[in-house]
Every structure is written in C-alpha cells, then in structure tokens.
Amino acid sequence: MLCKCGKKAIYERRNEGRAYCKKCFTKFVEKNVKRVIGKNKLIKKDDIVAVGLSGGKDSSLLLFLLKKFFKNKIFAIMIDEGIGQYRKKSIKKGIELCKNLGVEYKIISFKEYFGFEMCDIIKKLNEKGMKVKPCTFCGVFRRYILNREARKYGATKVAVGINLDDEAESALMNLVRGDIEKFLKLGALPGLIKNKYLVQRIKPLVNLSSEEIYLYNKINKIPFYNKKKCPYAIDSIRLTIRKVLNELEEKYPGTKYQIVSFSEKIRKAALKGIGYSEAKDIEINKCKICKEPTSREICKACELLERIRNS
Ligand code: SF4
Ligand code: ZN
C-alpha cells in the first residue's frame, strides 16, 4: 500500500479510502487538531492553558501538540486518584513528558484533597453493601480538582484529552438515556454557560480516533502509559456502547466520525432554535460547604463526600 506521496503507507484511513506514510500521517493529525482549535476558537492569544494530564496516550498527545502549536503559557495538572500501580505508572510517564517538553506540572492527590483515595472509597462503600460505580465518584472528584486547581493557577482554559471514540460514545449514551441536556453540552467547546469560577473546558482531540492518537504517539516517540487499564473501569453502559460502536466502525468505517459530526449539527440546530448563540456569563450558586460553583445548594463533590463519610 502506498501513500499519495509515493512512500510506503503505515496507516489506512478506511472511511477516506486513503493510506498515509509516516510523514503525511503526522501532518494529517496536526492539521486535524489545528482545524478543531481554529474552527471552534478554542485557544486565544492571551489564554493560559491547563492540560489535564493522566500520562495516557490522549492527554500526552494533547500536551505535546499544544506545546508545539502555541506560545501561550501551558501547564499540566496530574491527578492521583489513588488507584494503585496503575496511576503511579501513568503519572511517571506524565512527568517524563513534562520534563521533555519543559512544561510545569502539579500533581494533586485525592488523599490530600479529600482525605480518601479511590481504593479507600470503594472498600468502604463495598463493606457497607452499597452498590458503587467507581467512575461516578472518580469523575466528579477529578472534574472538581481540575477546575479548582486550574483557576487557582490562573488558567483560562482547561484542555482535556477526549478523543473521537469517547465523544461518539457520549453522544450515543446520551441518546440511549434520553439525556438532552447532557447531549447539548457535548462538543469541542462544551457547556452552555460561562462563569468566572468555572474554567472553560476545551476538547481539541474530538476528531481524532484512539487508533490515530496511539499511532501518532508511537511515530513521534511521545512517552505515554499504555500497559494496564484502570481496574475500576467495570462493565457499564459506556462499555456496552463502546462494543457496539467498535462493531459498527469495523463494518461501516467512519461511523464514529459521522456520529460526532451529526451530533454537532443537531446540537447547533437545536441551540439556534432556542435562540442560543454563545455561552453567556451568568451568576451561579456557591456550594454551601466548599464555596465552589454549582447549580445546586451543595455541589456534587461535597454530596458524594458526605455519602462516603456517613457510610
Ligand atoms: Fe476513574 Fe473510572 Fe477512569 Fe478509573 S475508569 S480512572 S475509576 S473514571
Ligand atoms: Zn462543595
């Protein structure tokens, strides 16, 4: 198989019916990310960007490319949830990447923030016979720390390594659950409101597949952790949807891309229909306990922490 340029191909993009050599593939990936950033105006000249870095392939590529494309101040936030060797090893890779790129990083642990590690939470709730979905706790706490720490260090954007596969899964998951509100909040520039206490999240990798990200990292020798999966990633609706999507992608190449771009079109049309043009600054409540922004009286993180403490 040959690339358009005549060199030996290393990757076939089946939905496009085109093969790429190493050099052309690298260009394709970089153009793809630049296009998402440009089209959605994700990063402005004076933005300070905090990258949520796990040390896995997605966030590692994200940090690498943002550093390559922009002169803005960029730093990394790594969160240690306390998931044994899995997280320790991925953070080690994250540190290696930050050092290679000369990027400042901060490591924040659940333990120092909340007094619990993920291992403690699962153990404690299991002992009480409570059904626990680890990702619910982990996801809420991670988001909470990322926003708070990014704001504390002056970031105006938080970049996260959500890729095409993740985004297609979320779109379909919200469809299956009939969750329109969450569906409308997807996209490269997610969320529908602005508030000075909420640092805007951005997702520059939403048009790149997991496979493409893996390959780019390998070709460009980006350090990332790729051995074990998180032991708490148990069977959930997301995993079922992932399986279905992978089958569809195999049979009908381009399915994931189509789902993401179709969702984007629906979202835009729906938001236009309700007179929404862009996120507006609004006042939002402060959590009664921690004073962080929330649409409720007590934020989700504090609510979950109470649940753990009282169990
Ligand atoms: Fe946390 Fe779930 Fe991700 Fe594991 S799979 S790191 S528990 S969100
Ligand atoms: Zn709170």
Read off the pLDDT of residues 220-254 as tens digits, 9 standing for 90 and up. Answer: 999 999 877 888 877 678 889 999 999 999 999 99
Structure tokens at 60: 């590692």
- Nearest ligand, measured from the Cα of 118: 1
Q: Kindly report each contact of residues 296-304 with a partner whose C-beta sits within 8 Å and lies 24 or more positions away, as own/partner.
A: 299/144, 300/140, 300/144, 301/140, 301/141, 301/144, 304/136, 304/137, 304/140, 304/141
What domains sit in the chain, N to C, each tagged with a CATH number? Answer: 43-309 (3.40.50.620)
Inform me whether the pLDDT recorded for 13 exceeds 90.
Answer: yes
Structure tokens at 289: 């306990």
Structure tokens at 258: 């189509």
Strand partners, 76: 51, 105
Residue 230 CA: nearest ligand 1 atom is: 4
Which residue has the least CA distance to atom 5 on ligand 1?
A: 233
Position 128 scores a pLDDT of 77
| Rg of the chain over all Cα atoms, to the nearest angstrom | 20
DSSP notation for 101-170: HT-EEEEEEHHHHHS--HHHHHHHHHHTT----HHHHHHHHHHHHHHHHHHHTT-SEEE----HHHHHHH
Counting ligand 1 atoms within 8 A of each CB, the residue from 232, 238, 242, 304 with the most, and so the one to mutate, is 232
- Is residue 301 very low, low, confident or very high in pLDDT (cuts 50, 70, 90)? very high
Inform me whether the pLDDT recorded for 274 exceeds 90.
Answer: no
Counting ligand 1 atoms within 8 A of each CB, the residue from 230, 236, 239, 242 with the most, and so the one to mutate, is 230
* Residue 304 near residue 140, CB atoms below 8 Å: yes
Residue 231 CA: nearest ligand 1 atom is: 4
Please tell me the total number of residues recorded for the chain in this structure. 311
| Residue 23 per-residue DSSP state | H
**Of 207-216, 243-252, 266-275, 295-304, which gets the smallest average pLDDT?**
266-275
Span 213-222, pLDDT tens digits: 999 999 999 9
Span 16-57, pLDDT tens digits: 999 999 999 999 999 999 999 999 999 999 999 999 999 999
Ligand 1, CB within 6 Å, residue ranges:
81, 134-135, 138-139, 230, 232-233
